[in-house]
Amino acid sequence: MPAITLLATLSPPCNARTWSSTPHPHLPIIATACSDKTVRIYSLQNFQQQSTISGGHKRSIRSCAWKPNSRGESVLATGSFDASAGIWRRWEEGGGNGQDAEIDFTGGLSGGGEKDEDDDDEWRFAVILDGHDSEIKCVTFAPTAPLLATCSRDKSVWIWEELEDDNFETVAVLNEHEGDVKCVAWHPSEQLLASASYDDNIRLWGEDVDDWACCALLTGHEGTVWCVEFEDANNIYALGSSENLTSEQQAYVQVRLKAGPRLISCSDDMTIRIWRRVPKDKPELPAGQIKTPSIWKNRDFEEEWIEECRLPQVHERPIYTVNWSKKTGKVVSTGSDGKIVVYEERWKSSKISNGDADGDVVMAGGTPAPDMEDLTAKKVHGSEGHMGGLTEWVAVAEVENAHDVFEVNHVVWAPRADKDKRTEDEEVIVSTGDDGEVNVWTLDT
């Protein structure tokens, strides 16, 4: 069984609760949102603080997000309990283009965290985004378009479009949640946004002709949904190469490819669930299971998502964060019980001749969603609904008291960047806790 081993604690720690840490899209640095109203940027090469952002927010900074594809300059969005979001800029090494002669950046270009570790003056405040009525819980940039999503205790999700540098326009205010919106996450390749809420539901939002609207409602969690995230499209290949698969497994791969990346969620109800889209142009259903057109929604815009499975229940208190590795497809979770748990998806070793065998299979961990046993679901989804039963999730590693006796608020996979890294694509797990510390862990097999 693999072990989760502490590699380093980022230094210096914060004196107050730290909420979340976000790795840079291409530099070996990570930004930690702190309740002392600062963001600390640490190097993942030497684990030292590289710079800080302070003075912009009046309350806790809850979340931050790096703008993707911003070569030459790093752009960070911050979301705060003061109801505002901030945009901050900093030149990367060799990235300055001198367009703005007013700013003297020539003295302290460091970028990769290799030098000038304590140069705190490089972050430039660019713009503040006002609009939310209460605490912002999460901010995130879209990977496919110049869009930023923010969500708040005011029950709304806002989508902002960056028309040109630092000129943000509100393109949507989405109000359908009935409670705080805790987390927003973008689909990796489509303009599709997921939101998780205090109302126990997940909603998916897309652009319908000209307007953003809710295209799917995912119900089932029995407590606040704290976090949602889409998987990487390549995760399917973590299950193994296609030539070694049975025909059933190959069919499942086809369904997964057609459905696209799945969504994962974790909740106050101590469950982690995986949701999968039901593709619209489905392969032919077996005879006798032909759906009647009336079952389907009329509009192409609306999507149907089903709960594919639940991960093994290891946590004993609310689960605050779940994160999906883009490299290995492994999932890591953490929460109030102070545990960090890593899960892996595998093909079930026992062969299943048909979908009905689901209930008989003894599983090391993941349980099929109750919905799948449901008659209606069977009728609607045909054989596809059961295909989640071909794989199982296994908890492969666990560490307790990851931040001494404190709660752990956030956990994320990041590329390993220190001098002792063992392979080119090795990853570390970065955890962020109530003790103000950010810990870096390796997964040792």
Partner 1 sequence: MDLDKDNANPTIINPSDLPSRRRSAPTTKRAGIFDVLAPAYPTLLAAPSSPPEAQSDISSDSEEEEDREEIDEQEVYDLISTISDPEHPLSLGSLGVVTLDDIKILTPTSPRSRISTVTVLITPTTSACSLTTVIGLGVKVRLVNALPPRFRVDVRIKEGTSKTADEVNKQLGDKERVAAAMENKSLVSVVNNMLATCE
User: Which residues sit at the interface with partner 1, rule CB under 8 A?
Assistant: 9, 11-12, 15-17, 35-37, 59-60, 62, 81, 134-135, 137, 153, 180, 182, 198, 224, 268, 316-318, 320, 336-338, 400-401, 404-407, 434-436
Q: What is the Cα–Cα distance from 417 to 69, expressed in whole angstroms? A: 20
**Least Cβ distance, residue 398 to partner 1 (angstroms):** 10
Residue with Cβ nearer partner 1 (17 or 277):
17
**Least Cβ distance, residue 154 to partner 1 (angstroms):** 12
**Least Cβ distance, residue 71 to partner 1 (angstroms):** 34
Residue with Cβ nearer partner 1 (122 or 268):
268
Residue with Cβ nearer partner 1 (392 or 435):
435
Q: How far are the Cα atoms of 73, 141, 190, 445 from residue 70, in angstroms, in the given order? A: 6, 12, 19, 35
Q: What is the Cα–Cα distance from 398 to 332, expressed in whole angstroms? A: 9
**Least Cβ distance, residue 14 to partner 1 (angstroms):** 9
Q: How far are the Cα atoms of 123, 185, 306, 373 from residue 413, in angstroms, in the given order? A: 25, 16, 26, 34
| Rg of the Cα atoms in the chain | 22
Residue 177, token pair as written in the block: 């949640």
**Least Cβ distance, residue 338 to partner 1 (angstroms):** 6
> Using CA of residue 369, residue 370, residue 374, residue 376, what is the dihedral sign?
negative
Residue with Cβ nearer partner 1 (81 or 168):
81
Residue 60, token pair as written in the block: 């806790």
* Cβ-Cβ contacts under 8 Å for 312 (sequence gap 6 or more): 343, 364, 365, 366, 367, 393, 394, 395
Q: What is the Cα–Cα distance from 341 to 320, expressed in whole angstroms? A: 12
- Check residue 14 and report its DSSP letter: P
Residue 61, token pair as written in the block: 């900074």
**Least Cβ distance, residue 153 to partner 1 (angstroms):** 7
**Least Cβ distance, residue 433 to partner 1 (angstroms):** 10
- Check residue 243 and report its DSSP letter: G
**Least Cβ distance, residue 32 to partner 1 (angstroms):** 14
Residue with Cβ nearer partner 1 (231 or 407):
407
Outline where DSSP puts E strands in 67-210: 73-80, 85-91, 124-129, 136-141, 147-152, 157-164, 167-174, 181-186, 192-197, 202-208
Residue with Cβ nearer partner 1 (111 or 335):
335
Report residue 197 CA to chain centroid gap.
Answer: 14
Where is 378: in which H helix or E strand?
Answer: helix 375-381
Residue with Cβ nearer partner 1 (389 or 436):
436
Q: What is the Cα–Cα distance from 413 to 321, expressed in whole angstroms? A: 12
Residue with Cβ nearer partner 1 (16 or 126):
16
Residue with Cβ nearer partner 1 (182 or 273):
182
Q: What is the Cα–Cα distance from 10 to 75, expressed in whole angstroms? A: 22
* 43: β partners: 29
Where is 331: in which H helix or E strand?
Answer: strand 331-335
Cis peptide before 12 (omega within 30 of 0): yes
Residue with Cβ nearer partner 1 (75 or 399):
399
**Least Cβ distance, residue 431 to partner 1 (angstroms):** 16
**Least Cβ distance, residue 322 to partner 1 (angstroms):** 16
